[in-house]
A and B are shown apart, each in its own frame.
Chain A
Amino acid sequence: MTPTFVTEAVQVLRNRYGDEQIRTAGDGGRTLVRVSEVELYEGCSPRSTPMLLVLDPGQPKPQVYVQPGQLLANGKAPRSTSVVMVGGESWLQFSFNIPWEESMGIIRFVAAARQRFVQHD
């Protein structure tokens, strides 16, 4: 990711979710972006989650996390998850792989991450 993309991504997220929903923090050269409420799909529990996006100019893609305890739309815990520490906080990391490049934009990345929770495992 280029530094320009990081700056633009924060702005795009503000436009999409509103200023009140977006908070940022610096963490060792990375930009942490917290979206306070991302709506998931019918059946997911809880139905919405705080989402953390880690925008690291040294990495090709953002990293994405949700609040620990998030369940899938089928009511089960997602497979291959683990609680990890980011910025001194606990977040749920989940297996998630999509072909993505900067030109596709951050909103498409978030949409794909949300889709992970309609899968059944």
Chain B
Amino acid sequence: MTNVQLRLPLGLGHELERAVFTKGQREAVAFCLVSHARVGGATVLVARKILSLGDDDYLDDGVHGASWRGTAMLPAIESAMREDLGIFVVHAHDFSGQARLSSDDLASARRLVPMFAARVPGRPHGSVVLGRGAAAGFLALPNEHARVVNDLSIRWMGKAILDWPRPSPEVRRDAEVFDRQALVVGNQDCLAGARVAVVGLCGGGSHVVQQLTHQGIGTVIGVDPDTSDLTNLHRQVGMRPSDAEKKSPKTKIMARLVKSIGTGTRFIGVFGRVPEPEVLEALKSADVIVGCVDNLHARADLQEIAWRYCIPYVDVGVSIRPRPAAEHDARVTIGGNVLVLIPGGYCMWCAGFLSDEKLAAETDGKGRSYFQGKKGEAQVISFNGLVASQAVTEVLQLLTAFRGSSIDPSSLALEGDLQRGALKLDGVRGTLEDWGAKRRPQCPACDRSLGAGSAVWKAA
């Protein structure tokens, strides 16, 4: 990632692209309202809203690429002030290669950006030009001098994560090792430059870590607060009996597993629980999060992190229950999910996987402080492995776009308004089917957290 990245959730990116990449006599302009967060040493801007100008808003002065009435900016400025968001003027130069602000663009930016900053202090503001595959801008980031940024990174959410420009990995990998997966992966750099966080490192998560490492993911961040015991040996990939004796942290077992595979993947173990500070910082730095957790409270946290910082989140889970049955019938039900949650698409609250009632039930109606975690639930490695493998395939799609890379939300349609990526396991029948899910238009969780970034503290 370059020093500044603008992330566009599913739907908003398509809206912005359609607004500014238009063929006509003049350039088209849109206003992108953003939150922001510091992630490592970089600034991440997350789009919350796109406002386009109408035809009547433009002035045909024949001098500038685009010129518009000052009053046309009022809806964007008022909305930004009301919601405490940064304001970016965006237009496009519709050709490939490097994007650069023209001298006219820059003069305009130098006038507008300080005015935006005066209206909404504490937020980043700027003027951005998009090329095809690259972007540049004049940016005023909080507590920094306004400056020209010629390597602005744009991340579009769609069927896959689409990065302009494509990031380069720190270390190139041995091409021969990955030769047989090249047909699907394409450029191995897509994986070698990626950071994938796996939360929960036992039955599901250990499979995920193992497969991501074989595929050649650049960095795997493994998060788990637990040590191993003998009850984990039947399902945690890479575990040895001595780990139970030593009560080895699951992160340590995964570090050993990754090293033994030898594909060059870097493993960062975080021995902690979501959303402890160190875990939160690690997750914010990920390109994709895979959740293999056993409770809804952790899922709710991962869902919020994913939406706030615009990070795709793949959630897996398996549930095995006894079933009263006649002698020759199935004696269990084996259900499970693989949810592909793309910021801007459906969330776990939209789809009913999370609700206040379900969270309250998990703590017997008491607060989060009383959550004890689940112990002793039935788990079988083959079912864990099945959903974990599908989750890794979904990560592969997000990073390599082997199924396509459209940012048009309709490209994710299953049927009607159902979005692809809500797969249900029936372990007794032996099926894993995409049932789809839909975004709820007034989902309070999406409204509150999608693209919200981090809280911006201001003097009262």
A57: interface (CB < 8 Å)? no
Q: Is the CB of A95 within 8 A of B370?
A: yes
CB distance from A45 to the nearest CB of B (A): 17
Per the bound structure, the CA–CA distance linking A13 and B456 in Å amounts to 19
A-chain residues with CB within 8 Å of residue B262 when the two chains form the complex: none
B-chain residues with CB within 8 Å of residue A83 when the two chains form the complex: 273, 275-277
Q: Is the CB of A28 within 8 A of B460?
A: no
Chain B 77-89 near chain A by CB (<8 Å), digits 1 or 0: 0000001100000
Chain A 77-109 near chain B by CB (<8 Å), digits 1 or 0: 000111111111110011100000000000000
With beta carbons under 8 angstroms apart, the residue of B84, B371, B455, B460 that contacts A19 is B460
A76: interface (CB < 8 Å)? no
Q: How many A residues face the partner with a CB closer than 8 A?
A: 31
Per the bound structure, the CA–CA distance linking A78 and B357 in Å amounts to 27
* Closest partner residue, chain A, to B281 (CB atom): A90
With beta carbons under 8 angstroms apart, the residue of B83, B305, B460 that contacts A23 is B460
Per the bound structure, the CA–CA distance linking A119 and B367 in Å amounts to 19
Instruction: Given A24-B458, A24-B460, A33-B460, check contact A84 B275 (CB 8 Å).
Output: yes
Chain A 50-93 near chain B by CB (<8 Å), digits 1 or 0: 00000000000000000010000000000011111111111001
Instruction: Given A19-B460, A24-B460, A83-B275, check contact A95 B455 (CB 8 Å).
Output: no
Q: Is the CB of A85 within 8 A of B304?
A: yes
* Closest partner residue, chain A, to B275 (CB atom): A85
With beta carbons under 8 angstroms apart, the residue of A19, A81, A88, A93 that contacts B308 is A88
With beta carbons under 8 angstroms apart, the residue of B370, B452, B454, B455 that contacts A80 is B370
Chain B 329-367 near chain A by CB (<8 Å), digits 1 or 0: 000000000000000000000000000000000000001
CB distance from B403 to the nearest CB of A (A): 31
B-chain residues with CB within 8 Å of residue A26 when the two chains form the complex: 83-84
A-chain residues with CB within 8 Å of residue B308 when the two chains form the complex: 88
Q: Is the CB of A87 within 8 A of B305?
A: no
Instruction: Given A23-B460, A81-B369, check contact A32 B277 (CB 8 Å).
Output: no
Interface residues, chain A, CB within 8 Å of chain B?
10-11, 13-14, 19, 22-29, 32-34, 68, 80-90, 93-95
Closest 10 CB pairs of A and B: A87-B455, A28-B448, A23-B457, A88-B454, A25-B455, A85-B275, A80-B369, A90-B277, A22-B460, A24-B460
Q: Can you sample 22 A-B contacts with CB below 8 Å?
A: A13-B460, A25-B456, A26-B83, A28-B448, A28-B449, A29-B448, A34-B457, A68-B276, A80-B367, A82-B368, A83-B277, A84-B301, A84-B368, A85-B305, A87-B455, A88-B305, A88-B452, A88-B453, A89-B454, A90-B276, A95-B369, A95-B370
- Inter-chain pairs besides A28-B447, A95-B367, 11 sampled, C-beta below 8 Å: A11-B460, A13-B460, A26-B83, A34-B457, A80-B369, A80-B370, A85-B275, A85-B304, A87-B455, A88-B37, A93-B368
